Amino acid sequence: MPKINIERLKADVAQARRDRPADVGPGGRRLTGAMAIVREKLAALETLKAGGATWVQIAAGLAAQGVTQGENGEPITGRRLTALIVSVKRQLARQAAKQAVRERRADPPILAPPETIRPRARLAPELMASKGRTATSAASLTEEEIREANFNRHADLFRKG
């Protein structure tokens, strides 16, 4: 197994990030921005379609404004536009379904951050100095006296009779 130098690995990763062109995604495919445009303008595109335009005509209008597809930057086609619209609608439906499940959950509300809910660690009462007694005088109690004090403190929890 080769030995890995973490500092060099960090530098190599940073260099690879700098060398990647801005219009190439993590998988190496060219980013055209068509999905983002469809996601942002979905309502307007559907309004155009409802007004009588075909998807091919809408795609031609988008292509005239510079929207492209694929590796070669070809103008977007009606078929690609409809595929993007279906994909965006599917994503929106998934998000809406997840949100509906979240809203139906009967989880109790979180009233405070978890850090404030946990009790702080403390010393046992017999180890703490209190009201003039020092830790040494508390330690001078016998085991029987400590047991009896604890019993008396919790006597209401035991059955009577």
Is pLDDT above 80 for 9? yes
For residues 142 and 126, give the distance between their C-alpha atoms in angstroms, rounded to a whole number. Answer: 11
User: Taking 70 as the threshold, does the pLDDT of residue 158 lie above it?
Assistant: yes
Structure tokens belonging to residue 47: 């309004």
Per-residue pLDDT tens over the stretch 107-121 = 766 666 666 556 667
- With a cut of 80, say whether residue 144 has pLDDT above it: yes
Using pLDDT thresholds of 50, 70 and 90, give the confidence band for residue 139.
low
The mean pLDDT of 63-68, rounded to a whole number, is 90
Compute, in degrees rounded to 10, the torsion defined by CA atoms 101, 106, 108, 114: -30
Report residue 124 CA to chain centroid gap: 40
**pLDDT at 92 > cutoff 80:** yes
Mean pLDDT of 91-108: 87
CA dist 14 and 137 (Å) reads 64
Contact 49, 23 (CB under 8 A): no
3-state SS, residue 24: strand
Look at 11-25, 45-59, 94-108, 133-147 and tell me which has the smallest mean pLDDT: 133-147
- Per-residue pLDDT band for 72 (boundaries 50, 70, 90) equals confident
Do residues 59 and 81 make contact, with C-beta atoms less than 8 angstroms apart? yes
Strands 68-69 and 74-75: antiparallel
Count the alpha carbons within 13 Å of 57 in the hemisphere toward its beta carbon: 9
Q: How many residues belong to the chain?
A: 161
State how far the Cα of 3 lies from the Cα of 78, in Å rounded to an integer. 52
Whose tokens are 């979180």? That residue is 110
3-state helix, strand, coil in the chain (%, to 5): 60, 5, 40
pTM above 0.85, yes or no: no
